[in-house]
Amino acid sequence: MTDEKDKHEGQRPPPAKGSRQDRLKLALRENLKRRKLQARARSDATMAPSDGDDVPPHDAGAKKPGK
């Protein structure tokens, strides 16, 4: 009889599967939202109008070659 008590003393009951599934669903949903926001931000930055005459910010003080 004491052997049975010793076996069950160190063991915890298994966690509920439903709560793990809920946490995974929530994490996936949040991840998807974050990725969509990042993709929108990237597409907004690349869709900025440019006529080709603009000097990039890192070359603001430099002259154009040949002029």
Predicted confidence at residue 44, as pLDDT, reads: 87
Short-list 24, 7, 6, CA closest to 16: 24
Query: pLDDT (tens digit, 9 = 90+) per residue, 18-61?
Result: 899 999 999 999 999 999 999 999 998 887 666 665 556 665 56
Place of tokens 């070359």: 59
C-alpha to C-alpha distance for 36 and 30, rounded to whole angstroms: 10
Predicted confidence at residue 33, as pLDDT, reads: 97
C-alpha to C-alpha distance for 10 and 6, rounded to whole angstroms: 8
Predicted confidence at residue 61, as pLDDT, reads: 60
Predicted confidence at residue 46, as pLDDT, reads: 81
**Whether the Cβ atoms of residue 22 and residue 15 lie closer than 8 Å to each other:** no
Entry pTM: 0.44
